[in-house]
Amino acid sequence: MISTSDFHTGLTIELDGELYTVVEFQHVKPGKGAAFVRSRLKNLRTGSTTERTFRAGEKVSRAIMERKTMEYLYNSDDEYYLMDMETYEQVTLSKEQMEAAVKFLIENEQLTVVMHGEKVVGVELPNTVALKVVETDPAFKGDTAAGGSKPAKLQTGLVVQVPFFIEAGDILKIDTRTSAYIERV
């Protein structure tokens, strides 16, 4: 159990049989009446957000989340196969469980799988990944004078906007949170 006074962003709690993570919270002490905590919670199963108000000091169940490092092996249709790096057991995840990680996955890449008990809750990627450009328009002399960007298709199928000097075969560092180009590696 954890008190609502100890809320912090990223905290995972269990309410009404569902898992939620605290996205935002605010302690409010009105001039008249009891203090309360206004919070915005994200449902880890559905991805929807909800606002909830708690009395100050109210106790809620804290969800214990376990993080395991796993290696992405391959996918078949909408099933993704991962291997636990400690036990070498293979785990199969659905496309829904993989969420946005799908567009950054390369075979043999390591990622973090978040679990609650034996149930997979989600997947965490590193903040940046290095991906190879497989297709982009050629740069023409004089294009770079005004700045700007062009689309580039990466090895995972993700399309990002890149500067004109990027060519097919270049390896780029991509931010997994925003799907944006950072730099050429």
Please check whether residues 159 and 179 belong to one and the same domain.
yes
**pLDDT exceeds 70 at position 88:** yes
**pLDDT exceeds 70 at position 133:** yes
Number of H helices and E strands in the chain, helices first, is 1, 16
Task: For residue 137, give the DSSP letter.
Answer: P
Task: For residue 97, give the DSSP letter.
Answer: H
Decide: 12 and 63 in contact? Cβ < 8 Å.
Answer: yes
Please check whether residues 107 and 138 belong to one and the same domain.
no
Per the structure, the complete domain to which residue 107 belongs is given by 66-124
CATH number at residue 42: 2.30.30.30
Q: What is the predicted pLDDT for the residue at 143?
A: 55
**pLDDT exceeds 70 at position 39:** yes
Please check whether residues 150 and 180 belong to one and the same domain.
yes
Please check whether residues 39 and 53 belong to one and the same domain.
yes
Mean pLDDT of 2-13: 89
Q: What is the predicted pLDDT for the residue at 98?
A: 82
Residue ending a domain, among 76, 93, 124, is 124
Decide: 25 and 49 in contact? Cβ < 8 Å.
Answer: no
Please check whether residues 57 and 108 belong to one and the same domain.
no
Please check whether residues 98 and 70 belong to one and the same domain.
yes
Residue ending a domain, among 82, 97, 124, is 124
**pLDDT exceeds 80 at position 19:** yes
Average pLDDT, the chain: 88
Please check whether residues 71 and 52 belong to one and the same domain.
no
Q: What is the predicted pLDDT for the residue at 50?
A: 93
Q: What is the predicted pLDDT for the residue at 36?
A: 93
Please check whether residues 57 and 16 belong to one and the same domain.
yes
Phi-psi region of 149 (alpha: psi -120 to 50; beta: other; left: phi over 0): beta
- Asked whether the whole model's pTM tops 0.85, one would answer no
Residue ending a domain, among 98, 124, 150, is 124
Q: What is the DSSP string of 13-36?
A: EEETTEEEEEEEEEEE--SSS--E
CATH number at residue 93: 2.40.50.140
Task: Give me the number of domains the chain comprises.
Answer: 3
Please check whether residues 113 and 138 belong to one and the same domain.
no
